[in-house]
């Protein structure tokens, strides 16, 4: 790696070649980006072919292999500057948690000082990264910075609102409001800039989460280890989901039921880490009031979501992810 390299973007993907193509295209337009690390969780929708056709890789990974496959190349941005492109293809789907675990690890091992984590349907603006980097000097113990996430119509994306509380490590959340910055406790992957030293201290995301809430756990872990998180309002990134939706199980699409099976378990685990008493109360609430609301208020797939909520809640009792 060039010793002057500073920022590496990390993306995890699985069968999302169309939004991934747009994400990569817009990433190449971003100022101050030195590298992109793409983790492909064994996509079977033609993602490798797309990458080869668009010039990101020069050869296709072998078929039916049980080994991780890596390659790298150089791509040029619109200003003619070279961006290093790394591609790692897993032999099975390890979820977003496993993908970001691997991607952050690989970028860290390559020596990058800042790791910019984005989802495969994130669409950054040309100055999104620079706006984050500008704010890294506000505090000495910076851990992570996140962008303001909008949906395609320009409204705030309700799924990607960071966690804000009045005081974070005795610092008022609005201490830096004159700089369009808020102090936050946790944030999502949609555009998350992480300092290298933080990874040395807190480790990597919990791959056992598989999907949903691994970003909240990871950024909360940084905060608990006395690193500060900042929300940068003038760094804009778009999240191009089909709808601007939250994780409300009553209104959830049936196609996302798998995500809820992990998300319910993971969020209960996070509560258990915070307080056993609050965890027990939330577990009882899930098994009673939440299930009642599902049966009463969902318009379709009532029994499927009832079953998912029930089994996932019980799974949280025995869930013991490890840290590395």
- Examine the domain organization and report whether 173 and 85 are in the same domain: yes
Report the distance separating Cα 26 and Cα 157, nearest Å. 19
CA 151 to chain centre: 16
- Examine the domain organization and report whether 218 and 281 are in the same domain: no
- Examine the domain organization and report whether 65 and 137 are in the same domain: yes
C-alpha to C-alpha distances, 168 to 115, 171, 194, 320, nearest whole angstrom:
23, 5, 18, 27
Beta bridge partners of 124: 237
- Examine the domain organization and report whether 260 and 233 are in the same domain: no
Q: Which pTM does this prediction carry?
A: 0.94
User: Does residue 313 belong to any structural domain of this protein?
Assistant: yes
Q: Which residues contact 215 (CB under 8 A, 6 or more apart)?
A: 100, 117, 186, 187, 188, 189, 192, 205
Report the distance separating Cα 324 and Cα 304, nearest Å. 34
- Examine the domain organization and report whether 291 and 190 are in the same domain: no
- Examine the domain organization and report whether 306 and 164 are in the same domain: no
By residue range, what is the domain housing residue 35?
7-239
**In a structure prediction context, what are the per-residue pLDDT tens digits for the chain, which is 324 residues long?**
334 449 999 999 999 999 999 999 999 999 999 999 999 999 999 999 999 999 999 999 998 888 999 999 999 887 888 999 999 999 999 999 999 999 999 999 999 999 999 999 999 999 999 999 999 999 999 999 999 999 999 999 999 999 999 999 999 999 999 999 999 999 999 999 999 999 999 999 999 999 999 999 999 999 999 999 999 999 999 999 999 988 899 999 999 999 999 999 999 999 999 999 999 999 999 999 999 999 999 999 999 999 999 999 999 999 999 865
User: Does residue 323 belong to any structural domain of this protein?
Assistant: no
User: Does residue 1 belong to any structural domain of this protein?
Assistant: no
- Angle CA 209–213–217, to nearest 5: 90
Tell me which of 173, 206, 239 is where a domain ends.
239
φ, ψ for residue 9, nearest 5 deg: -80, 145
Please state the domain count of the chain. 2
- Examine the domain organization and report whether 138 and 209 are in the same domain: yes
- Examine the domain organization and report whether 85 and 154 are in the same domain: yes
- Examine the domain organization and report whether 81 and 220 are in the same domain: yes
Tell me which of 188, 207, 239 is where a domain ends.
239
Task: Report the candidate in 39, 17, 147, 129 with the shortest Cα–Cα distance to residue 87.
Answer: 39
Tell me which of 208, 239, 270 is where a domain ends.
239
Report the distance separating Cα 8 and Cα 317, nearest Å. 37
Report the distance separating Cα 168 and Cα 298, nearest Å. 37
- Examine the domain organization and report whether 78 and 126 are in the same domain: yes
User: Does residue 165 belong to any structural domain of this protein?
Assistant: yes
User: Does residue 2 belong to any structural domain of this protein?
Assistant: no
256-281: b (≥16 Cβ within 10 Å) or e: ebebbbbbbbbbbbbbbeeeeeebee
- Examine the domain organization and report whether 137 and 278 are in the same domain: no
- Examine the domain organization and report whether 24 and 161 are in the same domain: yes
């Amino acid at each position: 790696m060039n010793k002057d390299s500073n920022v590496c973007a990390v993306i995890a993907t699985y069968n999302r070649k169309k939004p991934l193509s747009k994400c990569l295209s817009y990433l190449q337009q971003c100022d101050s980006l030195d590298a992109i690390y793409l983790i492909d969780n064994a996509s079977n929708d033609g993602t490798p072919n797309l990458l080869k056709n668009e010039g990101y890789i020069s050869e296709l990974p072998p078929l039916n292999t049980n080994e991780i496959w890596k390659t790298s190349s150089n791509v040029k941005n619109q200003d003619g500057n070279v961006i290093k492109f790394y591609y790692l293809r897993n032999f099975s789907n390890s979820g977003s948690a496993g993908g970001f675990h691997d991607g952050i690890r690989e970028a860290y091992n390559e020596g990058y000082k800042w790791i910019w984590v984005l989802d495969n349907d994130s669409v950054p603006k040309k100055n999104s990264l620079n706006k984050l980097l500008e704010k890294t000097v506000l505090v000495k113990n910076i851990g992570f910075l996140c962008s303001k996430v909008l949906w395609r119509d320009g409204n705030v994306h309700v799924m990607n609102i960071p966690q804000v509380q009045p005081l974070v490590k005795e610092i008022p959340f609005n201490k830096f409001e004159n700089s369009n910055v808020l102090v936050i406790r946790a944030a999502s992957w949609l555009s998350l800039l992480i300092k290298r030293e933080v990874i040395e201290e807190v480790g990597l995301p919990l791959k056992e989460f598989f999907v949903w809430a691994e970003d909240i756990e990871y950024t909360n872990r940084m905060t608990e280890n006395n690193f500060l998180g900042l929300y940068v309002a003038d760094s804009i990134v778009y999240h191009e989901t089909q709808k601007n939706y939250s994780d409300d199980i009553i209104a959830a699409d049936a196609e996302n039921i798998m995500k809820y099976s992990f998300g319910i378990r993971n969020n209960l685990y996070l509560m258990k880490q915070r307080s056993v008493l609050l965890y027990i109360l939330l577990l009882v609430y899930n098994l009673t009031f939440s299930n009642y609301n599902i049966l009463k208020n969902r318009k379709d797939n009532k029994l499927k979501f009832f079953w998912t909520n029930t089994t996932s809640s019980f799974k949280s009792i025995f869930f013991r992810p490890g840290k590395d």
